Amino acid sequence: MHDEPHAATTDTARADVLLEAMRQRMSAGGIEDPAADAELILGHVLGESRGRVQALAVMREEIPAPLAGAAVELTEERARRVPLQHLMGRAPFRSLELAVGPGVFVPRPETEIVAQFAIDALQQVPDPEPIAVDLCTGSGALALALAHEVPQARVWAVEMSREAIAWAERNVAEWGDGRVSLVRGDVTALEAIAELAPLAGRVHVLVSNPPYVPSGMVPRDPEVREHDPQLALYGGADGLDIVRSISRSARDLVAPGGAIVLEHAETQGRAIRELLSADGWRAAATHPDLTGRDRATTALR
């Protein structure tokens, strides 16, 4: 048994007291930054920004009991390691706020640097309507970031999971601006995806955050292990099965001089550079994310 926060047992709850109770409960559950999560959860319930929640706490404002109770309920779920993004139904990615939930991989901050390499490459294309393809799109994060930040681009996003596609459809409807085409298909059999056939040899930038966790390495964090779909995590014995397939089959899609941008684990850069080079890609290079860990490998067709 654990002590429930008592902030919602009266008609109102003081914001600072409520936040502290929420923080303690999540801290006991092993949450890495419980204070931030408490402010985000209460802001979600109140429909206010995190900054506004901090101000309410400083001013010791009273929170109506029903709203405090809702915040406590979400705190309990978060303490059981349900991802914060699932509880809020949204995940920030660059300048977007994406709809996420069970059945779709939650976009990570480290993937934003992968998007940046793809955006930079797309912005350098002289074509007035450059073409990009995002393989293993999940929630649509990379595809939508490209379309949002390169307004002249046309983007095709491919995903195999029916559950993930349902979330991607919502996000494409909200953020796609009519320039993102969502395609259901297996990225290990690109030649079988009819919607991509007209793009052969015409794609300027191909980007992917594929499953790259080796099948024998179970992620430490319960949020990842228990809530991210396995289809989005595991990439075979060494984690590179999907990357190998993409490297081979994507060359037929990409135009001469076009770029490929792949996300991967920090230990996989060398192996990916070698397999890309063996498949005929040029100038393979690995780049760190903002924490200094190798995160993306790029190459040219």
Per residue in 29-41, pLDDT (tens digit) is: 988 889 999 999 9
- Say which residues have a Cβ less than 8 Å from residue 82's Cβ, sequence separation at least 6: 223, 227
pLDDT confidence of residue 291: 87
pLDDT confidence of residue 102: 83
pLDDT confidence of residue 239: 81
Question: Residues 260, 117: contact at Cβ < 8 Å?
Answer: no
| Distance in angstroms (rounded) separating the CA atoms of residues 207 and 214 | 20
pLDDT in tens, 197-221: 999 999 999 999 998 876 766 666 6
Per-residue CA distances from 101 to 66, 98, 225, 227, 230 (Å): 24, 10, 15, 9, 14
pLDDT confidence of residue 62: 94
Question: Residues 250, 260: contact at Cβ < 8 Å?
Answer: yes
Of 7 and 43, the structure prediction assigns the larger pLDDT to: 43
Is the predicted pLDDT of residue 7 greater than 80, yes or no? no
Confidence of residue 74 (pLDDT cuts 50, 70, 90): very high
pLDDT in tens, 233-242: 566 678 898 8
DSSP secondary structure of 186-230? -GGGGGG-GGGGGGTTTEEEEEE----B-TT---SSHHHHHHS-G
pLDDT in tens, 121-136: 999 999 999 999 999 9
pLDDT confidence of residue 221: 67
Phi, psi of 64 (to 5 degrees): -55, 140
pLDDT in tens, 89-100: 888 899 999 999
Structure-block tokens of residue 283: 């100038």
Which pairing describes strands 180-184 and 203-208: parallel, antiparallel, or unpaired? unpaired
pLDDT confidence of residue 5: 46
* CATH number for region 90-300: 3.40.50.150
- Say which residues have a Cβ less than 8 Å from residue 198's Cβ, sequence separation at least 6: none
Confidence of residue 88 (pLDDT cuts 50, 70, 90): confident
The CB density around residue 97, as the number of other CB atoms within 10 Å, is 14
| Distance in angstroms (rounded) separating the CA atoms of residues 169 and 139 | 8
By percentage, how much of the chain surpasses pLDDT 70? 89
The per-residue pLDDT of the chain, averaged, comes to 88
Rounded mean pLDDT of 137-143? 96
DSSP secondary structure of 52-111? HHHHHHHTT-EEEHHHHHHHHHHHHHHHTT--HHHHHTEEEETTEEEE--TTSPPP-TTH
